[in-house]
Homo-oligomer: A and B are copies of this chain.
Amino acid sequence: MTDDLLQRYAELVVRVGAAVVPGTVVQLRADVAHQELARAVAEQAYAAGARRVYVDYDDGHVRLSALRHAPDDALRETVQWELNRLREAEQEGWALIRLTGNPEPHLFDGADPARVTAVPLELAKEFRRILSGGSVTWTIVAAPNEGWAEQVFGEPDVDRLWEAITLPMRLDQPDVVAAWEEHRLTLARRASALDALDLDSVHYHGAGTDLTVGLIPGCRWTGGGLQTSDGRWYMPHLPTEEVFTSPDRTRADGIARLTRPLVMPRAGALVEDLVVRFARGRVVEVEASSGAAMVRAELATDEGASRLGEVSLVDGGSRVRAAGLVFHDTLYDENAGCHVAWGTGFPFALPGGGAGLGPDEMMALGLNQSAVHTDVVIGGPGVSVDGVAKDGTRTPLITDDVWVLPVAG
């Protein structure tokens, strides 16, 4: 990976992902192993006129010491200064950038599932509120590193991992910003076409999955990015290949069989051959050849953790799929196929974008709330998705992995 590519990538993150404009305060969260990219992002953010760039490095080994020794309630405690900082971020409209790509995927193997999935609930709730509040921009992007490459390829070949993300990130395009703008519009058109159907539910079927998820009347589908209240587009995930919405938390029934391994967001644990059964919106059964205990621990985090917060459509034309790899990172793997997520839903998916609604009103409309949000991929060859209208009319959206719903443009 050349320094030129690194700087172009960082510029994409800053300008397209986080929509940094002059005067923006930027908070970048990265692992200490992500230093090289973190420094490039900081440089590009300042070059784009950022007023201040905080780079907050996480260190898995420090967290491991906490998991070994800290009192249980300290792992769940929300501390005041962190809440204050979040509120300052909201007031000042910060850009929040997070780097993923686990440098030590097996660091928490053997940790107590209840402790490794522990979350400061109040802080997590406030964070979710602010992410959806229209003031801040945020983006998640990957930072290739040796440990992650080892997990993907069986050897720490970082250059090969950079090559693998070049296609999904459209860094092969001469004008990468224009390429993303075009792609954003493609996804936005899919979302509009879905909105126009006014669906009552979606039905995922094939490859062992048979799952029907009810939708909130008038819900909005999103694809290709989000907008701040003052109209700036940003990209919460780079890359992105999905159109998605948040379903009715009380209406999910059937079986979801994962077509990709799941890497748990906080625990890092690898979950394989996962099958999850839903009844009236809740997960009622979890089976897996590995990692089931970690999934069950996460589903017990709070009341909403075992209900769905997202349904998402990705077809076989995805550039992430074209990379032909299991990335062992949700940012990439969720963009390789249709998926659902248990845990919190998105206020912007509500009719009217959820404007002016408090948490109780959102919940009453059927939007799920939780401190967790974990995406699980169920799409791929052999999987189809139909939209079902209130009167029972079925519209094929994806048929055997191919997008079939007509879109404008």
Chain A residues at the B interface, C-beta cutoff of 8 Å = 32, 35, 38-39, 42-43, 45-47, 49-53, 55-57, 59, 61-62, 65-66, 68-71, 74, 77, 79-81, 84-85, 88
Q: Report the Cα distance A331→B51, complex, angstroms.
A: 32
The A interface is mostly helix, strand or loop, or mixed, namely helix
For residue A79, which residues in chain B have a CB less than 8 angstroms away from its CB?
A: 52, 88
Which one, B46, B55, B56, B70, contacts A51 given CB within 8 A? B70
Q: Top 8 closest A-B pairs, CB basis?
A: A46-B69, A81-B85, A57-B57, A42-B62, A43-B65, A39-B61, A46-B65, A84-B84
CB closest chain-B residue, reference A52: B74
* Copies of this chain assembled into the complex: 2
CB closest chain-B residue, reference A67: B46
5 contacts between A and B (CB under 8 A): A42-B65, A43-B61, A46-B70, A49-B69, A84-B84
Q: Report the Cα distance A372→B142, complex, angstroms.
A: 39
For residue A80, which residues in chain B have a CB less than 8 angstroms away from its CB?
A: 84, 88
Is A65's CB under 8 angstroms from B39's CB?
Answer: yes
For residue A50, which residues in chain B have a CB less than 8 angstroms away from its CB?
A: 69-70
Q: Report the Cα distance A84→B81, complex, angstroms.
A: 6
Is A59's CB under 8 angstroms from B70's CB?
Answer: no
For residue A70, which residues in chain B have a CB less than 8 angstroms away from its CB?
A: 46, 50-52
Q: Report the Cα distance A161→B45, complex, angstroms.
A: 37
Q: Report the Cα distance A45→B70, complex, angstroms.
A: 10
- A59 with B59, Cβ < 8 A, contacts A74-B51, A74-B52 known: no
